Chains A and B, each alone.
Chain A
Amino acid sequence: MKKIISFVAGDILRNRTVLAYTAVLLLFSLGLFSLEPRPEKALLSLMNIVLVFVPLASIVFSTIHYYNSAEFMELVLAQPVARSRVLLVEFAGIALALVLAFLVGVGLPVLWHGAGTKGILLVLGGVMATVVFVALAFLGAVTFRDKAQGIGFALILWFFFALVFDALLLLVLYNFSEYPLERAVLVLTMLNPIDIARMMIITRMDAAALMGHSGAVFREFLAGAWGWVVAWLALLAWGAAPLAVAVRIFNRKDL
């Protein structure tokens, strides 16, 4: 088990794409911290990159890697091991490798520049985003046999969570603006892993504009212990649920 995980992760870590991914993240982080004298502002710009670029890279890379290692998986499955175990091992390997890449690319520079709790939050948010989008990639990859279809699905998922969801949210907000929406919006936000991560970071970082108005409600919830737990559970669910469904499909699938 451990052997296969370390094999998969080691294989990916030597992969040129992952090395390039790490380098690009490192470049972004170091560049932002050196160009922007205010660490808070740099963190904010970095957050935008982390919450848009990291999910995209994670989901596309994982999907492609899954299709490319289909033959390897078939080979392993010829041995007496459970199917679900093989898929989970593959997931763990990819997730581990991408999380490591992220920690090197973003985590180290953030810690190096002493960004404090906000920085740690950003890193945690990025790690969770990576895991969630790897899980979503697996869901797509086991569903579609065709590689092009799988990649297309991955891109659509990313596009939906990064852009479309917020647009729809804004539409809802506009159309129901006569009602007190704060609590409803908080529930809706839980439907988008990127938004959850963003809100967890923002409520502690850029409180100025959020204060007052509805911001007080969001802050009260997300900065409190209860909201904190709920947000983390929601993020974990966003990782676990797609993976569980993917395992189910994989178990019944005719390879």
Chain B
Amino acid sequence: MKDNAIPPPRRPGKILAVAWLILFLPACVLATRHTVCTACPLSGIQKAVETAAAGDTIIIREGVYKERGITVKKRLCLIGEGEAVIDGQGQGEILSVFAPGSEVRGLAFRNVGVSYTEDPAAIRLVRCEGCLVADNVLENTFFGIYLQQSEGCTVRGNRIVGRAKEEASSGNAIHIWKGERILVEGNYVSGHRDGIYFEFVDDSEIRGNTSEGNLRYGLHFMFSNRDVYEDNTFRDNGAGVAVMFSRQIRMLGNTFDHNWGGASYGILLKEISDGEMAYNTFRENTRGIYAEGANRLHIHHNEFVENGWALDVKGNCLDNRFEYNNFIANTFELTTNSRHNLNTYSNNYWGNYRGADLDRDGIGDVPYRPASLHALIIGKVPAASILLHSFFMEALDYAERIFPSLIPEQLVDEKPLMKPARHDTD
């Protein structure tokens, strides 16, 4: 299974996106301009799109435009001035772009229709290369921004707020299906099924976004390789974040906050391998990390604060390394469903560690077994959660840590830190 020949993750997405920007930005600034406003000779956006030649810019002035099904088949820049609102009136899609190098900026989109066969979106990019969707405000959308088979596109600074009520009848805020080198940056997404959805998207970046209050996942990631997501905040989403069936993903500096509920977790790692997860903060999640079939991940310098279970690492995870993580005030630090341990834990700070450090080298003298017997029992018999924090259970947990018989004996941190790791120096 081990495949050491895989190269380290590359990050060409940003560079290419910037290259595209440089290539096309002047075009938008220097091109022939057409102005659309409610009182102008050109009062419709579709009309303006038809009139314009490839490479032209269309400025859309303040006003409400009740249009839908706007189709762009040549390279155009659509730029909103003031509060330019395109109202789809709850029927079908609003804007579809089929032309590489196009831009959609500073517009407001409202009231996308709902259709389960067509998945209408406010903005759809199809087979676009180097397109830019920036600084738009989307309200009451089914799907917000939908990219399919596109490369080198940038989705930046958009605000997408839906009114999803139930999972089965709602769409995703930013939905990317098949793509490469996509940059999703600084967006705010909420009130959809999934905040950001990636399927078959390689070499891409998700940076500085906030995704909250979505019904299912804040970020949903499948069959996507060599991607980076960094400095995002995922808060109060139905289930949290799911990263599945992907390889070489780097997850850095994200905040997973208050994903709370029966089946919620900060992040679900399912069938993912060879990734890195560092400098993230997990706060008040029912489960911090829920790992199933996660292999060869390097998980280091993360903060786990006040979660129910900080780590739930199933028995089918192997060769993961947990280092320099801080576990503070979690009810349970670790649980698993296996008698064996195939991962390594070292140099972590465990809040429940009770050992001493007589030689004062900052490392506890006695190894620490973070797996809690009670958590293990709850995994088997859920009703046993009634014994939480009882004197009996705590005594049993303590005894089990010293003489393990039910918790995996090899699941041990040989070098538990005495003080929380400092993420900038350790």
Contact = CB atoms under 8 A, between A and B. Distances in A.
A186 B383 CA distance: 10
Interface string B89-106: 000000000000000000
Interface in B354-393: 375, 377-378, 380-393
Contact of B386 (A162, A211, A214): A214
Nearest to B263: A212
Interface residues of B, number: 33
B383 A214 contact: yes
B391 A212 contact: no
B261 interface: yes
A52 B263 CA distance: 33
Given A208-B308, A209-B332, A216-B262, A174 B381 contact: yes
Interface string B277-320: 00000001010000000000000000000111100000000000
Contacts of B395: 163
A149 interface: no
Interface stretch (A65-73, A198-206, A231-239): A198-206
B286 A173 contact: no
Contacts of A174: 377, 381, 384
A170 interface: yes
Contact of A213 (B262, B284, B391, B394): B262
Interface string A164-180: 00110110011001000
Contacts of A208: 260, 284, 286, 306-308, 331
A173 B309 contact: no
Contacts of A218: 385-386
Nearest to A210: B385
Interface in A31-88: 38, 40-41, 44, 47-48, 51-52
Contacts of A24: none
15 contacts: A38-B329, A162-B391, A163-B395, A166-B390, A170-B387, A173-B381, A174-B384, A177-B383, A185-B383, A195-B390, A202-B388, A211-B308, A212-B261, A214-B383, A216-B262
Interface of A: 38, 40-41, 44, 47-48, 51-52, 162-163, 166-167, 169-170, 173-174, 177, 181-182, 185-186, 189, 195, 198-199, 202, 206, 208-216, 218
A-B pairs with the 6 shortest C-beta distances? A208-B308, A166-B392, A213-B382, A212-B262, A181-B383, A209-B331
Given A173-B381, A177-B381, A218-B385, 10 more contacts: A169-B386, A195-B390, A208-B307, A209-B332, A211-B261, A211-B286, A212-B263, A212-B286, A213-B382, A214-B382
